[in-house]
Amino acid sequence: MATASTTSTLDVLRIRKDFPILNRKVNGQPLVYFDNAATSQTPQQVIDVIVDYYSNYNANIHRGVHALSQEATDAYEQARIKLQKHFNIPNAYQTLFTSGTTHGINIVASGFAEILKAGDEIIVSALEHHSNIVPWQMLCEKTGATLKVIPMTTSGELDMEGFDAILSEKTKLVFVNHVSNALGTVNPIEEIITKTHQVGGAVLVDGAQASPHIKANVQALDVDFYVVSGHKMCGPTGIGMLYGKEKWLEKLPPYQGGGEMIDQVTFEKTTYAGLPHKFEAGTPNICGGIAFGAAIDYMNAIGFEHIAAYEHELLTYATQKLQEIEGLRIYGESKHKTAVISFNIGDIHPYDIGTILDKLGVAVRTGHHCAQPIMDFYKIPGTVRASFSFYNTKEEIDIFVNAVRKAKSMLG
Amino acid sequence: MSSIQDIQQEIIEEFEMFDDWMQRYEYMIELGKSLPLIDEKYKTEEYIIKGCQSKVWVHADLKDDKIEFTADSDAIITKGIIAILIRSFSGQPPQAILDADTSFIDKIGLKEHLSPTRANGLVSMIKQIKLYAVAYQAKAES
Ligand SMILES: Cc1ncc(COP(=O)(O)O)c(C=O)c1O
């Protein structure tokens, strides 16, 4: 049996020194940060890049003749190449900077508004972040297309027979997350992509939850679109990426009008600039892009295989310890999970547990995790969600499990 | 009937007896269990208070020119907070509720100890209670 002190795959104590925030106290207790699925923490290496940008070469990009603008442009474009390499994207111009996953999804959804017709169908999964279902509902209202849903099973996985049943020649686009934010389930996106392509549809994968744990290879996946957020990958907020196959990026109309995206403007006609600028109107989050690149470097220096192996160790350890608590039920029991545990204890409200955990210095998420359909499926108001990162430790899991026991005794 | 101010003073003194947050919370949970419960028929969308992560329902009735509050929540700590509010406001005339100061919440360490989302819920609860008072006051004047 694993004990609290055995950590095999990573030098976690050294890694923790990179994250200044992990030293802080909350309510007089040392912080145990288990809300990584909402936002990851930022290492000093990334913070330094942000400080360096504003201290030394803050300038607008792609426009200036002067040195600072050139330096900023170079750094921003180098960051794009880092993302391109990381996700194995064929060309830098298919690597679009966005403000985050939500923005990336909206670019694709609004582009499809011009492509879809009445009678077409879009498929989303029952495991989606509900704010990400809204753009598809709006799209359907606008175009007369129909929205279909891949059902889920009690173990928190997608029901693939249910998928087969709704997939057809009418399917134009399938939207699915690579990993569910509420339950941590890793979805069979390879199978979804292959089958959707067989009927001539495109697939947009929401990689927000997968990207901190799994290095996605967009060419091997043959995915049409892949979106991520920097703030879940040790980068800053307000920056993300959209990858698209070239044929799609050429076909989709621009999302916003503004500077950068334009080639020539006359009052008769505007010709759009080529990729990626067609989708990058206005001054972007330059510093955010550069820092996102630094965050990817940081994670790659540790190595995604090591990260995944170590987080799996944490997940196994925490699952086992939590299961020893009587009345505790874990939601999402897929064998393919990232380091996320969603749970409730008896009929204690998750918010009560979260409140007591916070008093004890443990940060978790409570509520429906923007996945109301999943909560409705289980007929619960929400769950407590603990999500681990590679800088967490088994000692922290022990503190967390003791805190959960304390909360149970106070509230039960 | 004691005034709102007296009741609030009483609550402050009760909370001063505890030396740590855990005892305060345990007491709050106890108070939650004594909350005058809302009639099931009012546990609908119409009576729900927005801005709380947990559900809170509040209902008010005017009896002998005084407002009687009943409430419920699906979370026990929230129930404790609402019990404290109701204890200080229930059975009071609308004008007294409107005039009442709510800074006693700070004095019993609730606001500072509760998470921001919960604190918002608390603010919404106070607002809802005051809205009932406004409504009954207007009714009385018309
Ligand atoms: C699966 C999933 N998709 C999308 C999002 C939204 O990401 P952002 O808020 O960075 O746009 C999240 C964030 O919680 C998520 O977990």
Four-residue CA torsion sign, A214, A220, A221, A225 = positive
Which pTM was predicted?
0.91
pLDDT(A146) > 50: yes
Q: Higher model confidence: residue A377 or residue B118? A: A377
How sure is the predictor about A4, in pLDDT bands with cuts at 50, 70 and 90?
Answer: very low
What is the pLDDT, as a whole number, of residue A62? 82
The H or E element spanning position A172 is strand A171-177
What is the pLDDT, as a whole number, of residue B120? 62
Which B residues in the span 24-53 are in contact with A, Cβ-Cβ below 8 Å?
25-26, 29, 53
pLDDT(B134) > 60: yes
The torsion angles phi and psi of A234, rounded to 5 degrees, stand at 70, 10
Mean pLDDT of chain A: 93
Evaluate whether A329 touches A84 at the Cβ level (below 8 Å): no
How sure is the predictor about A264, in pLDDT bands with cuts at 50, 70 and 90?
Answer: low
The H or E element spanning position A26 is strand A25-26
> Which CATH number covers residue B110?
3.90.1010.10
Give A81-105 pLDDT, tens digit per residue: 999 999 999 999 999 999 999 999 9
Task: Return d(Cα A409, Cα A402) in angstroms, integer.
Answer: 11
How sure is the predictor about A370, in pLDDT bands with cuts at 50, 70 and 90?
Answer: confident
**Using CB atoms within 10 A of its CB, is residue A294 exposed (0-12), middle (13-18) or buried (19+)?**
buried
Find out whether the beta carbon of A101 lies less than 6 Å from any atom of ligand 1: yes
Say yes or no for a CB contact (<8 Å) between A359 and B77: no
CA-angle at B119, arms to B114 and B125, nearest 5°: 130
What is the pLDDT, as a whole number, of residue A269? 58
Provide the residue range defining the domain that includes B16: 4-141
CA distances from A403 to A17, A325, A392, A406, A409 (A): 24, 12, 16, 5, 10
Evaluate whether A83 touches A299 at the Cβ level (below 8 Å): no
Residues of B with a known catalytic role: 52
Counting every residue written for chain B, the total comes to 142
pLDDT(A412) > 90: no
For residue A365, the cross-strand partners are A385
Q: Higher model confidence: residue A263 or residue A209? A: A209
What is the pLDDT, as a whole number, of residue A281? 83
Q: How far does chain B reach from its first CA to its final CA, in angstroms?
A: 26
Q: Which DSSP symbol is given to A114?
A: T
Say yes or no for a CB contact (<8 Å) between B54 and A351: yes
Give the pLDDT mean for A64-69: 89
Domains in chain B, number: 1
Give A328-364 pLDDT, tens digit per residue: 999 999 999 999 999 999 999 999 999 999 999 999 9
Q: Higher model confidence: residue B108 or residue A64? A: B108
Task: Return d(Cα A380, Cα A375) in angstroms, integer.
Answer: 5
**Using CB atoms within 10 A of its CB, is residue B63 exposed (0-12), middle (13-18) or buried (19+)?**
exposed
Q: Looking at ligand 1, which atom is closest to the CA of residue A229?
A: 10
Task: Return d(Cα A170, Cα A339) in angstroms, integer.
Answer: 36
Give the pLDDT mean for A59-70: 89
Task: Return d(Cα A294, Cα A300) in angstroms, integer.
Answer: 10
Say yes or no for a CB contact (<8 Å) between A411 and B55: no
Give the pLDDT mean for B63-74: 94
What is the pLDDT, as a whole number, of residue B118? 60
What is the pLDDT, as a whole number, of residue A5? 46
**Residue A195 φ/ψ region, left for φ over 0, alpha for ψ in the -120 to 50 degree band, beta for the rest:** alpha
Task: Return d(Cα A47, Cα A224) in angstroms, integer.
Answer: 33
What is the pLDDT, as a whole number, of residue A56? 97
Mean pLDDT of chain B: 87
Task: Return d(Cα A101, Cα A86) in angstroms, integer.
Answer: 17
Residue identified by tokens 């009932």 is B132
What is the pLDDT, as a whole number, of residue A381? 87
Say yes or no for a CB contact (<8 Å) between A359 and B21: yes
How sure is the predictor about A1, in pLDDT bands with cuts at 50, 70 and 90?
Answer: very low
From A55-59, A60-64, A237-241, B69-73, the region with the lowest mean pLDDT: A60-64
What is the pLDDT, as a whole number, of residue A275? 87
pLDDT(B95) > 50: yes
Percent of chain A topping pLDDT 90: 84
ipTM at complex level: 0.87
Q: Residue A129 C-alpha to ligand 1 middle, in angstroms?
A: 7
The tokens describing A200, both together, are 């001539």
Taken in order of first residue, the domains within chain A and their CATH numbers are 4-42+304-411 (3.90.1150.10), 47-301 (3.40.640.10)
Closest to A230 measured CA to CA, from A219, A218, A242, A221: A242
B114 touches chain A (CB under 8 A): yes
Is A370 marked active-site? Answer: yes
Q: Which DSSP symbol is given to A387?
A: E
Q: Residue A104 C-alpha to ligand 1 middle, in angstroms?
A: 10
Task: Return d(Cα A195, Cα A270) in angstroms, integer.
Answer: 39
Residue identified by tokens 């694709």 is A108
Q: Residue A189 C-alpha to ligand 1 middle, in angstroms?
A: 17
pLDDT(B38) > 60: yes
Beta-sheet pairing, A25-26 with A383-387: unpaired
Nearest by CB: B76 against A352, A359, A366: A352
